[in-house]
Amino acid sequence: MIFAVMGRHPVIFGRFSALLASASLASSHAFLQASHPSPRSKCSAVLNQSRDGSSSTTSERVTLEKIAGTLREGGYKKVLVVAGAGVSCSAGIPDFRTPGSGLYDNLHKYDLPYPEAIFDVDFYRQNPMPFVTLSKEIWPGVNYRCVLRLQEVCSCYGAGNSCLHCQTQNIDGLEAVSGVSPESLVECHGHFRSASCINCGMNHEADDCKRSMLGKGAAPSCGSCGALVKPDIVFFGEVMPNRFSELVHFDVASSDLVFVLGTSLMVAPVASVPDWVKSDVHRILMNREMVGSFHGRKPTDVFMEGECDASVRKLCQLVGWEDELDQIYLDTRSK
């Protein structure tokens, strides 16, 4: 089993998969081996390649223009996307950690022992009301329209380029709405489309959970054991979805281009995924600031500073996909 973890050490801290994380490469590797041993040899081989550079054949620094040209020619065969909360900002959804505007900076009214407690399953068990109140603001479709051009990224899977998977840390459902296929989508931190008991795991109707939290202002109770029910978003300390655990090793071993979008890389294990790819894999970070191992600026890395939408548009302009991008955006707005 793989758990959502906060911070830079493999300690099963408090809960929620707060969309963003990064244990060090070595500690995350050890954590994965301990908690999910069956594919150990696969992950170990990939990580060893990343560490010793044995698979690297490139010393010349890659450029954005070079990556755009390879995309245009269909040269990338396995494109992996790792998306964080920053990709949703243009839809009016705050990210988690931006000082001043981030969600964690605006939770004072809930009188929490620490900001992440609102997504801590043990805290929820004792006091569900802070999350119940917050759910009225963050439940998909309540206070925002899902019109984000998130499949701007999908435009990068044009002719000849194959989307391996979009591993999203987000719980807002924008990827599904904007056209990422179920086969390509890995919702690493769950979603609001289903609900379950935090004790016995019994499934409950998401609509019933929504009516209770948004309509009655109360956490629903399990009809089987009487414990609390919540949406199936991953709280800190809960087990990651099976789909993530089943696909992550294949993804990092197979990818030849990685997009990292809108994440501060602060919550393991998802945020360590970009570090687990082979050392010759091209990586593009589209973010407001440099984060994680991108600080080292390997020759295979490109950093596009700024808002995700603007960066994706610039890339699509270079590749020659801007018309397709605009059409996708229009199609999404009409839904």
- Which residues are tagged catalytic? 189
Give the span between the Cα atoms of 146 and 88, in whole angstroms. Answer: 9
DSSP states along 276-306: HS-TTSEEEEEESS--GGGGG--TTEEEEES
Cα angle 262-74-300, degrees, rounded to a multiple of 5: 50
CB of 231 closer than 8 Å to CB of 190: yes
246: which residues sit within 8 A by CB, 6+ positions away?
none
CB of 15 closer than 8 Å to CB of 238: yes
Phi, psi of 255 (to 5 degrees): -70, 145
| Residue 235 vs residues 5, 42, 204, 259, 309: alpha-carbon distances, Å | 9, 27, 17, 25, 28
Beta-strand (E) ranges in the chain?
5-6, 79-83, 163-168, 185-187, 190-197, 203-204, 229-233, 257-261, 267-268, 282-287, 301-305
Give the span between the Cα atoms of 25 and 80, in whole angstroms. Answer: 19
Longest dimension (CA), the chain: 61
Residue entry with tokens 């407690």: 117
